[in-house]
C-alpha cells in the first residue's frame, strides 16, 4: 500500500461520545461501520482510495465485527457485489473513482437499480471533477437520473458527511433503490472532527451466517418480463418513497437569511465555496451564517417538488449553483416551478459558466451579476472591488513575467521503471519510423508529456490495445500499444489481448509490469510481489519473480513473448526493433519488468536502516556526471526526462552551454547511464558505490585506489 494506516485503523474503533479526527474519506469509512455494513468492496482510485486501503489493512478488526472486505479487480465486479443486497437484508457499500469507474460499472448498476434492493446499498464515488481531476470532465448525475438511483452530494462538513452516509442506507431501504454519494477531491481530503457512535456488527455476516438461501423470486431478477414491472415501480413507488423520506428526515438543509425576495439553491458539495464567495462580499460571517437564504441540496436526485416550490414561491429570483453540464438540477427546478405556476425568475448557467469547476472566484462573479440585478439595495462595492483586484493581479503577473506562466506538467517519479521504456521507444523510432502508439490510463500516460510526447489516444483503463485495432490495418508499420499490469488485470486481457487473438491482429503490446496499480497508490494486483519477496534480504533487487502475466498470455495462445528488465535500455531497444521487423505475424507482447520505484524505496529503506543499525555492510549505487567531460549537449535529459538531472554552470569559459549534474534525488536506477550508452551519446556519466559499514577488504581497496589515483592525478 501507499502507506500504513495504523492510526486510522485505531480511530475506526472509537466508541460513542469519542471524537474522531481525520480526513473526510476516513470519516466515511467510520460511518460505514457505524451503519452496520455486512460487506465493503471497491476498486482503488483517487480520491477515495483511502476508504478501501484502510478497510483492507483493518481486516483483523473487521473480521471481529463480521464485515467482509473485497478488493475487486475492477469497478464492474465491485458493483456486482451489491447484488447481495437484492435478496437479503444485508447492507453493503462499494467505492471507486468516478466518472470512469462508473462507466465500467454501469452494466451492473443498471441491473441492480432495476431489480431494487432489500438491504441498503451505497456507492461512494470519488467525484474527480475540476482543476485537480485526472480523468475526463463528466458528472455522475446522469447515471443517477437514467437508472433512478438516489444521489447524495453532502455539504463538506465531517458531521454532515457522516450523517449522510448513515442516512443513505436508510434512504436506500426506504425506497428499495441503491444510493450513490459523490465526494469531491477536497471533501475527501479535508480535515475535521465529529462525535463518533459505536460500530454496529451486521445482522447477517460471516460470524452470523444464514442457514438457508432466499427463496426463488423471479421478480428479483433484472430480466424480462420482470423488468417491465420494475420500471413502473421506479416511477410509481420507489421515487415517491425516496422523496417522502428526504423530506421527513430533513436531508436537505434550509439556511434562513435576512431576506425573502431572493434565494440561492446550491449543491451540498459546493456549499463551502459559496460561503467563501459570500464572505468576500460581506454577506456571510466566519460561521457560515448568510444574509441571503439558501437551500442546500445534500440529495441532488431525486429532487422534492414540494420543498423546492415552497422555497422559491414568493421570491422574485433564485440562483441555482450547479457545477458541470448539462444543468440537470436547474432544468428540473424550472420544470417544477412551471408546473406549479410560480413566477420566480430562475437563474443558473446564464450567470455562471456552463462547464468547469466552481471555485469561490467563479461563484462570486456569478453572484455579483445576480445580486446587481435582483438586490439593487445591497452595497456591491466590495464585490466590484474584489473582482477588479483579482483581474489587476493577473494582469500585473503577466506584465512582470512577460508571458503566461509556463506549464508544469506532471512527470514520472525519480527512478520510475517506465521512463526507460519510453526512452527506448524514442530511440527505436529513429530506425523504424514513427508508429501509431495507443496510450492507456496509468502512470505510463505521463509519457504523453515532454520529453517523450508519446501516445495517439487514451480510451480507457486497459483499452490501449483494443483502441489500436482499427488503426493497424491502415498503417504501413505495426502499431504499438501500452498497457500496465493493473490495466491488464482490470480489463486489458479480455478487451485487448483476447480480442487481438480472436481477430489475428498483427501488432505490438508493451505491458508495464511494475508490480502494482501504482497510479492510485501502489495497491496490490494479482501479480504483485509476495510478502516473502518484499521482506527478504534480496529486497534491493527491483525484479520480482511472479510470472502470472506471462503464464496467462502464453496460456491464451500468444507465441511471440519477451520479458525485458526496463532499465536495460539497449536490450529493450533490440527487443522493440525485433518486434517491429520480424516476419512473424500475430500479436507480439513485450513484458517490461521493473518494480515501481516508490514502492521499492518504501520497502528497502527500512531494510537498509535495519542493516546499518545492526552494523552490516550496505552498498548504495549513485550516478554522476564528470563536468570536465560533459559537452553540454543535454541529450541525456531529452531522452530520459529524469527530474534528478539538472543543469549547472560549467565554470569553464570555453564551454558556453551549462553542463548536466545529478542531484541528491537520484535513487541509483542507472537510466541516465543506460540511455547515454544506448544512444552512444557521451562518456561523461560515471557510476559510484557508496559503502556504509565497510569491511576490511573495502578499506584495503580504498587505500590502494586512493594512492593510485594520487599518483596519476596532475600535481
Q: What is the pLDDT of residues 22-31, one digit of tens each?
A: 999 999 999 9
128 and 173 housed in the same domain: yes
* pLDDT higher at 210 or 520: 210
Is 407 part of a structural domain of the chain? no
Which is higher by pLDDT, 402 or 693? Answer: 693
Tell me which of 382 and 487 has the higher pLDDT: 487
Residue 85: count other Cβ atoms within 10 Å of its Cβ. 28
Does residue 177 sit in the same domain as residue 66?
yes
Q: Would you say residue 104 has pLDDT above 90?
A: yes
Pair 263, 370 in one domain: yes
Give pLDDT, residue 517.
85
Residue 364 has pLDDT above 70, yes or no: yes
User: What would the mean pLDDT of 506-520 be, rounded to a whole number?
Assistant: 90
Is residue 399 packed enough to be buried (19+ CB in 10 Å), middle (13-18) or exposed (0-12)?
exposed
Angle (nearest 5°) at CA 555 between 549 and 560: 75
Q: How far apart are CA 518 and CA 488, in angstroms?
A: 13
| Bridge-based pairing state of the strands 508-513 and 516-517 | unpaired
CB neighbour burial string for 352-381, b if at least 16 within 10 angstroms, e if fewer: beeeebbbbebbbbbbbebbeebbeebebe
Say what the pTM is.
0.89
Give me 422's grid cell. Answer: 519510453
Identify the pLDDT of residue 715: 59
**Last residue within a domain, chosen from 350, 368, 401:** 401
- Asked if residue 12 lies in contact with residue 54, where contact means CB atoms within 8 angstroms, the answer is yes
CATH number of the domain bearing residue 161: 3.40.50.970
- Residues 6 or more apart whose CB falls under 8 angstroms from that of 501 comprise 556, 557, 558, 586, 587
Looking at residue 602, its pLDDT comes to 83
Least confident range from 50-54, 79-83, 531-535, 709-713: namely 531-535
Per-residue pLDDT, averaged over 469-491, amounts to 93
Q: Are residues 91 and 39 in the same domain?
A: yes
- pLDDT of residue 533 exceeding 60: no
Q: Which three cell numbers stand for residue 17?
A: 461520545
The average pLDDT across 414-438 equals 92
643 vs 456, higher pLDDT = 456
Cα separation, 648 vs 665, whole angstroms: 16
Q: Both 264 and 242 in a single domain?
A: no
Cα 84 to Cα 121: distance, rounded to the nearest angstrom = 9
Alpha helices (H) in 415-456, listed in sequence order: 419-432
Q: What is the CATH number of the domain that holds 313?
A: 3.40.50.920
468 alpha-carbon distance from chain centroid: 25
Q: Is 556 within 8 Å of 476 (Cβ atoms)?
A: no
| Residues recorded for the chain | 715
Would you call the peptide bond into 225 cis, given omega within 30 degrees of 0 as the criterion?
A: yes
Q: Do 187 and 335 touch, CB atoms closer than 8 A?
A: no
User: Packing angle between helix 381-401 and helix 360-374, nearest 10 degrees?
Assistant: 140
Q: Is the C-alpha dihedral spanning 573, 578, 581, 585 positive or negative? A: negative
Residue 612 lies in a domain: no
Domain stops at, among 344, 375, 401: 401
Regarding whether 86 and 26 lie in a shared domain, the answer is: yes
Q: Is residue 408 part of a domain?
A: no
Peptide bond into 47 cis (omega under 30): yes
* Whole-number pLDDT of residue 673: 66
Residues 451, 409: contact at Cβ < 8 Å?
A: no
The pLDDT value given to residue 303 = 97
Cα separation of 324 and 357, whole Å? Answer: 7
Scanning the structure block, which residue is given the C-alpha cell 569553464? 652
pLDDT at 572 over 80: yes
Most distant pair of Cα atoms in the chain: their distance:
99
Per the CB < 8 A criterion, the answer to whether 508 and 464 are in contact is no
Q: Does residue 87 carry a pLDDT above 80?
A: yes
Contact (CB, 8 A) for 179 and 120: yes
Per-residue confidence (pLDDT) for residue 642, from 0 to 100: 82
Q: Cα(380)–Cα(368) distance, rounded to whole angstroms?
A: 7
What's the confidence (pLDDT) of residue 537? Answer: 44
Is there a single domain that holds both residue 461 and residue 513? Answer: yes
Q: Which residues contact 204 (CB under 8 A, 6 or more apart)?
A: 38, 88, 89, 90, 210
- Give backbone dihedrals phi and psi of 400, rounded to 5 degrees, phi first: -70, -40
Q: State the average pLDDT over residues 593-620.
A: 87
In this predicted structure, the answer to whether residue 274 has a pLDDT above a threshold of 50 is yes
Query: CA angle 100-102-103, nearest 5°?
Result: 65
Residue % of the chain over a pLDDT of 70: 95
Q: Say if residues 145 and 138 touch (Cβ distance below 8 Å).
A: no
Among candidate residues 565, 600, 635, the one where a domain is terminated:
600
Based on the domain organization, do 242 and 257 belong to the same domain?
Answer: no
Q: Are residues 256 and 229 in the same domain?
A: no
The residue range of the domain holding 351 is: 252-401
CATH number, domain of 676, equals 3.30.70
What pLDDT, in 10s, does the model give residues 124-135?
A: 999 988 877 888
Average pLDDT on 74-91 reads 95
Residue 632 above 90 pLDDT? no
Instruction: Find which of 47-56, 376-385, 527-536, 565-574 is predicted with most confidence, using mean pLDDT.
Output: 565-574
CB-count burial class (<10 Å; 0-12, 13-18, 19+) for 698: middle
Q: What radius of gyration, in Å, describes the C-alpha atoms of the chain?
A: 29
H helices present in 120-270, as ranges: 141-147, 158-175, 185-189, 226-233, 239-249
Cα angle 252, 102, 201 (rounded to 5 degrees) comes to 65
Q: What three-state secondary structure class fits 506?
A: coil
- Measure the CA–CA gap between 155 and 625, rounded to whole angstroms: 54
Answer yes or no: do 221 and 95 share one domain: yes
Q: Taking residues 332-337, report their average pLDDT.
A: 96
Higher pLDDT, 103 or 710: 103
Cell of 201: 456488527
The order of strands in the sheet holding 121-127 is: 68-71, 39-42, 92-98, 121-127, 179-184, 150-152, 299-301
Distance CA 208, CA 225 (A): 35
Q: How many domains does the chain have?
A: 4
In a domain, 413, yes or no: no
Angstrom distances, CA of residue 318 to CA of 288, 293, 341: 19, 10, 15
Confidence grade of residue 348 (pLDDT, cut at 50, 70, 90): very high
With bands split at pLDDT 50, 70 and 90, how would you rate the model's confidence at 8?
A: confident
Q: Count Cβ atoms below 10 Å from residue 28 Cβ, excluding itself.
A: 26
**Would 606 be classed as within a structural domain?**
no
Instruction: Report yes or no on 411 lying in a domain.
Output: no
Dist. CA 22–CA 506, nearest whole Å:
52
How does residue 688 score in pLDDT terms, banded at 50, 70 and 90? confident
Which of 402, 102, 92, 376 is CA-nearest to residue 262? Answer: 376
pLDDT (mean) for 390-405: 80
The lowest-confidence range among 86-100, 268-282, 423-437, 673-687 is 673-687
Sign of the CA dihedral running 396, 402, 403, 404: negative
- The predicted pLDDT at position 269 comes to 95
Answer whether residue 614 is part of any domain.
no
- 205 versus 682: the higher-pLDDT residue is 205
Question: Are residues 270 and 323 in contact, defined by beta-carbon separation less than 8 angstroms?
Answer: yes
Q: Look at residue 539 and tell me whether its pLDDT is greater than 60.
A: no
Do residues 603 and 531 touch, judged by C-beta distance below 8 A?
Answer: no
With a cut of 50, say whether residue 543 has pLDDT above it. Answer: no
Q: Parallel, antiparallel, or unpaired for β 294-297 and 299-301?
A: unpaired
Say how many C-beta atoms besides its own lie within 10 A of residue 649's C-beta: 10
- Report CA-CA distances (Å) from 553 to 160, 364, 494, 516, 571: 48, 55, 11, 18, 21
Task: Give CA–CA dist 234/114, Å, rounded.
Answer: 8
Least confident of 11-15, 428-432, 449-453, 599-603: 599-603
Residue 613 lies in a domain: no
Average pLDDT, whole number, for the chain? 89
Mean pLDDT of 571-580: 96
pLDDT at 531: 62
Do residue 553 and residue 640 come from a single domain? no
68 and 185 share one domain: yes
Band of pLDDT at residue 648, cut at 50, 70 and 90? confident
Alpha-carbon distances of 642 from 323, 338, 416, 635, 645, rounded to whole Å: 38, 60, 9, 12, 6
Model pLDDT for residues 160-194, shown as the tens digit of each residue: 999 999 999 999 999 999 999 999 988 988 999 99
Mean pLDDT, residues 62-74 taken together: 92
Q: Please state the rounded mean pLDDT for residues 114-120.
A: 96
Amino acid at each position: 500500500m501507499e502507506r500504513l494506516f495504523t492510526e486510522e485503523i485505531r480511530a475506526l474503533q472509537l466508541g460513542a461520545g469519542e471524537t474522531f479526527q481525520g480526513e473526510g474519506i476516513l470519516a466515511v469509512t467510520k460511518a460505514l461501520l457505524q451503519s452496520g455494513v455486512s460487506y465493503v468492496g471497491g476498486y482503488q482510485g483517487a480520491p477515495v482510495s483511502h476508504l478501501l486501503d484502510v478497510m483492507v489493512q483493518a481486516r483483523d478488526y473487521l473480521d471481529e465485527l463480521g464485515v467482509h472486505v473485497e478488493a475487486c479487480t475492477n469497478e464492474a465486479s465491485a458493483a456486482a457485489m451489491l447484488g447481495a443486497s437484492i435478496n437479503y437484508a444485508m447492507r453493503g457499500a462499494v467505492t471507486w473513482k468516478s466518472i470512469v469507474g462508473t462507466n465500467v460499472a454501469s452494466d451492473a448498476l443498471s441491473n441492480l437499480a432495476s431489480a431494487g434492493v432489500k438491504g441498503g446499498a451505497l456507492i461512494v464515488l470519488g467525484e474527480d471533477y475540476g482543476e485537480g481531476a485526472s480523468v475526463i470532465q463528466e458528472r455522475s448525475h446522469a447515471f443517477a437520473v437514467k437508472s433512478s438511483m438516489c444521489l447524495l452530494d453532502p455539504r463538506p462538513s465531517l458531521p454532515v458527511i457522516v450523517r449522510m452516509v448513515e442516512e443513505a442506507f436508510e434512504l436506500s431501504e426506504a425506497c428499495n433503490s441503491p444510493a450513490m454519494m459523490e465526494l469531491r477531491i477536497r471533501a475527501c481530503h479535508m480535515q475535521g472532527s465529529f462525535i463518533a457512535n459505536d460500530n454496529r456488527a451486521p445482522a447477517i455476516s460471516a460470524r452470523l451466517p444464514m442457514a438457508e438461501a432466499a427463496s426463488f423470486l423471479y421478480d428479483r431478477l433484472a430480466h424480462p418480463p420482470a423488468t417491465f414491472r420494475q420500471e413502473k415501480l421506479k416511477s410509481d413507488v420507489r421515487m415517491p418513497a425516496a422523496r417522502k423520506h428526504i423530506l421527513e428526515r430533513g436531508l436537505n438543509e434550509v439556511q434562513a437569511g435576512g431576506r425573502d425576495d431572493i434565494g440561492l439553491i446550491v449543491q451540498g458539495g459546493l456549499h463551502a465555496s459559496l460561503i467563501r464567495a459570500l464572505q468576500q462580499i460581506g454577506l456571510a460571517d466566519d460561521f457560515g451564517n448568510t444574509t441571503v437564504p439558501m437551500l442546500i441540496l445534500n440529495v441532488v436526485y431525486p429532487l422534492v417538488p414540494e420543498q423546492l416550490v415552497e422555497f422559491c414561491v414568493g421570491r422574485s429570483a433564485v440562483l441555482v449553483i450547479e457545477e458541470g453540464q448539462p444543468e440537470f438540477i436547474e432544468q428540473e427546478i424550472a420544470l417544477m416551478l412551471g408546473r406549479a405556476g410560480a413566477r420566480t425568475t430562475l437563474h443558473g448557467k446564464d450567470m455562471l459558466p456552463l462547464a468547469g469547476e466552481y471555485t469561490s472566484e467563479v461563484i462570486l462573479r456569478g453572484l455579483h451579476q445576480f445580486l446587481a440585478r435582483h438586490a439593487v439595495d445591497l452595497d456591491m462595492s466590495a464585490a466590484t472591488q474584489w473582482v477588479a483586484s483579482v483581474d489587476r493581479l493577473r494582469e500585473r503577473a503577466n506584465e512582470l513575467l512577460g508571458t503566461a506562466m509556463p506549464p508544469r506538467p506532471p512527470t514520472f517519479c525519480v527512478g520510475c521503471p517506465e521512463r526507460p521504456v519510453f526512452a527506448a521507444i524514442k530511440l527505436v523510432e529513429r530506425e523504424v519510423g514513427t508508429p501509431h502508439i495507443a496510450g492507456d490510463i496509468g502512470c505510463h500516460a505521463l509519457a504523453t508529456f515532454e520529453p517523450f510526447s508519446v501516445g495517439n489516444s487514451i480510451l480507457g483503463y486497459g483499452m490501449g490495445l483494443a483502441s489500436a485495432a482499427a488503426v493497424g490495418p491502415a498503417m504501413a508499420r505495426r502499431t504499438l500499444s501500452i498497457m500496465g499490469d493493473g490495466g491488464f488485470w482490470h480489463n486489458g486481457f479480455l478487451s485487448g489481448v483476447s480480442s487481438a487473438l480472436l481477430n489475428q491482429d498483427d501488432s505490438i503490446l508493451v505491458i508495464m509490469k511494475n508490480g502494482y496499480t501504482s497510479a492510485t497508490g501502489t495497491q496490490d494486483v494479482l501479480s504483485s510481489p509476495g510478502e516473502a519477496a518484499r521482506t527478504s534480504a534480496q529486497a534491493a533487487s527491483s525484479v520480482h519473480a511472479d510470472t502470472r502475466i506471462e503464464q496467462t498470455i502464453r496460456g491464451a495462445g500468444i507465441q511471440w513473448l519477451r520479458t525485458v528488465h526496463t532499465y536495460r535500455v539497449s536490450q529493450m531497444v533490440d527487443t522493440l526493433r525485433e518486434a517491429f521487423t520480424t516476419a512473424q505475424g500475430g500479436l507480439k507482447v513485450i513484458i517490461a519488468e521493473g518494480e515501481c520505484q516508490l514502492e521499492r524505496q518504501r520497502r528497502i529503506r527500512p531494510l537498509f536502516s535495519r542493516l546499518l543499525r545492526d552494523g552490516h555492510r550496505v552498498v548504495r549505487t549513485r550516478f554522476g556526471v564528470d563536468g570536465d567531460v560533459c559537452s553540454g549537449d543535454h541529450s541525456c535529459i531529452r531522452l530520459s526526462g529524469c527530474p534528478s538531472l539538472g543543469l549547472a554552470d560549467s565554470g569553464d569559459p570555453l564551454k558556453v552551454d551549462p553542463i548536466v549534474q545529478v542531484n541528491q534525488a537520484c535513487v541509483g536506477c542507472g537510466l541516465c547511464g543506460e540511455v547515454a550508452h544506448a544512444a552512444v551519446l557521451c562518456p561523461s556519466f560515471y557510476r559510484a558505490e557508496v559503502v556504509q559499514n565497510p569491511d576490511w577488504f573495502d578499506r584495503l581497496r580504498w587505500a590502494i585506489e586512493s594512492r593510485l589515483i594520487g599518483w596519476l592525478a596532475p600535481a
